[in-house]
Amino acid sequence: MSTSLRREFGFWRALGDLRFRDIATAEVVGGLVLGAGAATLMAKYGTSTQRLAVSGDYLAIAGALVGVVFAGFALVVGLMSNEYLRWLATNARGVQGFLSPFMISIGLQVGSLISVIGYRASASHLSDGDEKLAFGFVSSLFLVALLDVIALTRSVLMHAVARARGLEIDDLQARRAEDKRGQVR
């Protein structure tokens, strides 16, 4: 795959295409607040060893989450009907716009994994203050990535509702055409 295609469909492109209102969601703000709150509590009442243990929990959860979200992504792509793909293509953001939240979610989760691994590898080499700040960053990124699954689920749900409404319209049009044929006879 060429470099230009990787750039067009990559994480940074998907992130760059977001508008501020797409980023300033309850999930992102909530993740930042919860992450900062957890880090503040752990900085005040916890030890470095306890923060490392919590980061180990982050590692296990984030690793599993990447697998689940990627499997969900593969299922969504695999189960899209031709008609639905055509309908998405008529939309301003198209298929890429529908699937980019998966890319962002997976990118956040992978970033969380890399950050946690980096934190765990370097925590014992950092000053106390820097280690606490690093834990705060890791906690915030982990919680944003975790809560982003809710936003991703909302996106998939909205598309399911759009598909159902489209089917209702198709059914009504088919009944109308059938009624017209019945009146002609």
Q: Quick one: pLDDT at residue 54?
A: 93
Report which of 139, 154, 179, 152 is spatially closest to residue 30, judged by C-alpha positions: 139
Alpha carbons 166 and 77: distance in angstroms, whole number: 19
- The predicted structure's pLDDT at residue 50: 94
Q: What is the pLDDT of residue 4?
A: 65
Tokens of 153: 């689920």
Q: pLDDT tens digits, the chain, 185 residues: what are they?
A: 566 656 666 665 655 666 666 666 778 888 889 989 988 998 899 999 999 999 999 999 998 988 888 888 788 777 777 777 777 778 767 777 777 778 888 888 999 999 999 999 999 999 999 999 999 999 999 999 998 888 888 877 887 787 788 778 878 888 888 888 777 66
Q: What pLDDT score was predicted for residue 51? A: 93
Rg for the chain (alpha carbons), in Å? Answer: 22
The pLDDT assigned to 2 comes to: 63
pTM: 0.74
Do the Cβ atoms of 159 and 94 come closer than 8 Å? no
- For the chain, the structural domain boundaries read 25-184
SS (H, E, C) the chain: CCHHHHHHHCHHHHHHCCCHHHHCCHHHHHHHHHHHHHHHHHHHHCCHHHHHHHHHHHHHHHHHHHHHHHHHHHHHHHHCCHHHHHHHHHCCCHHHHHHHHHHHHHHHHHHHHHHHHHHHHHHHHCCHHHHHHHHHHHHHHHHHHHHHHHHHHHHHHHHHHHHHHHHHHHHHHHHHHHHHHHHHC
